Amino acid sequence: MLDFPFDQYDALLAEKAQRIEQQFARFDIPELKIYPSPVKHFRQRAEFKIWHTQERCFHAMFERGSNNAPIEVESFPIASEAITQLMPRLLKEINQNPILKQRLFQVEYLSTLSGEMLVTLIYHRKLDEEWIAAARGLKDKLAIHLIGRAKKMRILLDQDHVIERLQVDGKDFFYKQVEGGFTQPNAFVNQNMLSWARSCAKADQSDLLELYCGNGNFSIALADKFRRVFATEISKTSVHAAQTNKIMNKLDNVEFARVSAEEFTAHMNGEHPRRRLKDCQLETANFQTVLVDPPRAGLDQKSCSMIQNYTNIIYISCNPDTLEQNLERLKQTHQIKRFALFDQFPYTHHIECGVYLEKR
């Protein structure tokens, strides 16, 4: 059984806040704004290995770096209520059907705040028509979307995504979240992140540049704060989802380009013009604000230098250590005006931060 220290949540969050305050003390940061997570049922995604015995199979997890026996996951209370309710029902059906059970080795869940559910079953065998018939029955009985995967196989029984609705500052925003694509796992904290980012944006006739935009998580929510939003992302899956999100949210001032942050920087520096950016009219843009949400590695040196050209910087970070490195450079030209801690990942050491900087 997995055991989460729910009664220690406040103390664990306070430790994270203390760590951030100490780590960034030399930057003379303003008062840290802390955004907690719900104590339970906050994860909209979960994945488990499937362990087989002679009698049955079950959800399993393993201690990191351990060769010990699997830990049976009978319940997973940090997952959304939709996931926790579905897990035993799904396993019951699978254990009663040898076709669905045979050589199943992983299950992935993707849910929304409204309870819409996409399940991916991953196998060590070829999936045939018999499996499709059994899986279709499972999908209909449990009222879920279902995907089957095996080596060089991906079978959609209806669709490969769910639609999330986030409520931010009294507004509804809709996001297509695709199986296998990156999404923020904690929708409750994500709503707070979007609200905080919106509060940093100055509502004027300037433009927003966003690097590492993913499926348009921030671009969509900030679009009404700017004349124009131009956002870049390297993942083809995420860009396609972002384009759909633009349409669903009825936006006409947002543009997405599939280039990396490094490629965009090289283009803007005149080092390596990119064909995909040639017709984007970047020369007419009035970028006063840039928003970056880089991976754990942070911004590369050239991209970090490039964003120093903009008046306002909104930096979302999933790694305080690389954020610290980037702020060493950014503090030369900008002053930290706001600093936030978003507890996206309770009961782990991971910390998500938000920093707002203005040019000196």
Cα dist from 166 to 143, 312, 337, whole Å: 22, 25, 27
DSSP label at residue 43: B
Which among 57, 304, 352, 353 is annotated as catalytic? Answer: 352
Whether 177 and 171 have beta carbons less than 8 Å apart is answered as no
Active site residue 352: yes
Residue 352 near residue 342, CB atoms below 8 Å: yes
CA atoms of 76 and 85, how far apart (whole Å): 10
Measured in degrees and rounded to the nearest 5, phi and psi for residue 290 equal -125, 135
- Quote the strand ranges of the chain, DSSP E: 33-35, 45-52, 57-61, 71-72, 104-111, 117-123, 145-150, 153-156, 161-168, 171-178, 207-211, 228-232, 254-257, 287-292, 312-317, 334-342, 352-359
Q: Residue 161 corresponds to which tokens in the numbers above? A: 């995504």
Work out whether the CA dihedral 301, 219, 112, 104 comes out positive or negative: negative
Query: Given 200, 304, 318, 353, which residue is catalytic?
Result: 318
For the chain, report the end-to-end CA distance as a whole number of angstroms. Answer: 53
One-letter amino acid at 243 equals Q
Catalytic residue positions, numbered:
318, 352
